[in-house]
Amino acid sequence: MKRVLLAHGDGGLYAAALLKTLFMRYFKNRELARLSDAALLPAIEGRLAVTTDSFVVQPVFFPGGDIGKLAVCGTVNDLTAAGARPLYLTVSFILEEGLAFAELEAVVASLSAAAETSGVQVVAGDTKVVPRGQADKVYINTTGIGLADPRLVLGPERVSAGASVILSGTAGDHGIAVLSCREGFSFRTPVTSDCAPLNGLLDVVSAHFASICWMRDPTRGGVAATLNELAESAGADIVVYEASLPVRPEVKAASELLGLDPLYLANEGKMVLVVEEKAAEAVCESLRVHPLGREAGIIGRVEKGAGSVWLRTSLGGTRALDMPAGLPLPRIC
């Protein structure tokens, strides 16, 4: 049997076989092995953080990652942004009838490897199969449970004029990697997605936890959407310095060709941190110690204002960096 059948989703023999021959081989732990309706976790002391995301990226495999790796990183990074250490994941697949088993196994293997890298345990799962043409290969939901670090107190109410805006690395890599793969563009220097689990970044900045006011991983809508959400909820303006924004030359070139702005492109391995000004340089230095934070830098500053985001251009001008609207980049994550 080389392809997913409708019967793999019927709760019978085929479904049980898929569980045993594929999922249980990659996700080995006591909770999953019980095959119960719900996983029973050990008691956890402290406050939990919970987040959920569905992933529908197209194509399923792209330079630097695939939907399996993305489904882990996206949820791990959301927990990290909330100041929590990721502990557990649930994983739910919606499969299209006819999906090649080899593709499914590659996705599952990649998901499992990313979970191991991130130190999270997959404790519960589900698989549904829909008839051909009612999904596109595979969609994945991951829900993450993490342990909130009590030393991190994050929120827009902590963000005020003078604070520094830090980006942990280059902007737009994931967006360009997926779009160019999808459209079949080939650039001299191929662009690779930045898809990576960022929970390790928390460790390197732990000495500065008291100075960190807010974090968010800038995925859909990019850095621009993330900063607009922050500006609105904090009731302050944010100024971004174009000259300070790290962008790979190949991403810059591809963006210009496609008429896109790296500030609006999705990232899957970057964190925006808003930090008290006095600690900003030290936080950047700490981030740069980590392989995923090597290009961290201060890209902007919070200013008094009514909730707008401004771009100070390399030429010295200033223009509004609005919330994206009507520029749909479907299935980017």
User: Contact 238/302 with Cβ under 8 angstroms?
Assistant: yes
Least distance between a copy of itself and beta carbon 172 (Å): 14
From the list 318, 230, 214, 227, the residue with the least C-alpha distance to 275 is: 214
Distance CA 252, CA 238 (A): 23
Residues 139-168 touching a copy of itself, rule: CB under 8 A, are: 139, 141, 143-146, 148, 154-155
Q: Judged by CB under 8 A, does residue 229 bind a copy of itself?
A: yes
The secondary structure of 128-174, three-state, reads: EEECCCCCCCEEEEEEEEEEECCCCCCCHHHCCCCCEEEECCCCCHH
Q: Judged by CB under 8 A, does residue 82 bind a copy of itself?
A: yes
Q: In sequence order, which residues have a C-beta less than 8 Å from that of residue 25 and are 6 or more positions away?
A: none
CB atoms within 10 A of CB 169: 24
Q: Judged by CB under 8 A, does residue 135 bind a copy of itself?
A: yes
Contact region with a copy of itself (CB under 8 A), list: 3-11, 244-252, 286-294, 298-306: 3-11
For residues 79 and 279, which CB has a smaller minimum distance to a copy of itself in the complex? Answer: 79
Distance CA 270, CA 244 (A): 16
Site size toward a copy of itself, by CB under 8 A: 87
Distance CA 102, CA 58 (A): 17
Least distance between a copy of itself and beta carbon 233 (Å): 7
From the list 95, 105, 107, the residue with the least C-alpha distance to 137 is: 95
Taking residues 250 to 269 in sequence order and writing x for each that binds a copy of itself by CB under 8 A, - otherwise, the string is ----------------x---
Contact region with a copy of itself (CB under 8 A), list: 133-141, 163-171, 287-295, 297-305: 133-141
Rg of the chain over all Cα atoms, to the nearest angstrom:
21
Contact region with a copy of itself (CB under 8 A), list: 51-59, 178-186, 203-211, 307-315: 51-59
From the list 270, 165, 266, the residue with the least C-alpha distance to 221 is: 266
Cis, bond preceding 59 (omega within 30 deg of 0) = yes
Residues 184-203 touching a copy of itself, rule: CB under 8 A, are: none
Contact region with a copy of itself (CB under 8 A), list: 2-10, 105-113, 189-197, 289-297: 2-10
Distance CA 244, CA 134 (A): 44
For residues 56 and 250, which CB has a smaller minimum distance to a copy of itself in the complex? Answer: 56
**Position among 21, 52, 189, 318 found at the interface with a copy of itself (CB under 8 A):** 52
Angle of helix 67-81 relative to helix 101-118, nearest 10 degrees, comes to: 30
Q: Judged by CB under 8 A, does residue 128 bind a copy of itself?
A: yes
For residues 14 and 241, which CB has a smaller minimum distance to a copy of itself in the complex? Answer: 14
Distance CA 291, CA 289 (A): 7
**Position among 123, 204, 254, 284 found at the interface with a copy of itself (CB under 8 A):** 123
Residues 202-221 touching a copy of itself, rule: CB under 8 A, are: 216-217, 219-221
**Position among 259, 291, 317, 330 found at the interface with a copy of itself (CB under 8 A):** 330
Residues 308-327 touching a copy of itself, rule: CB under 8 A, are: 323-327
Contact region with a copy of itself (CB under 8 A), list: 22-30, 89-97, 296-304, 311-319: 89-97
Distance CA 55, CA 178 (A): 13
Q: Judged by CB under 8 A, does residue 117 bind a copy of itself?
A: no
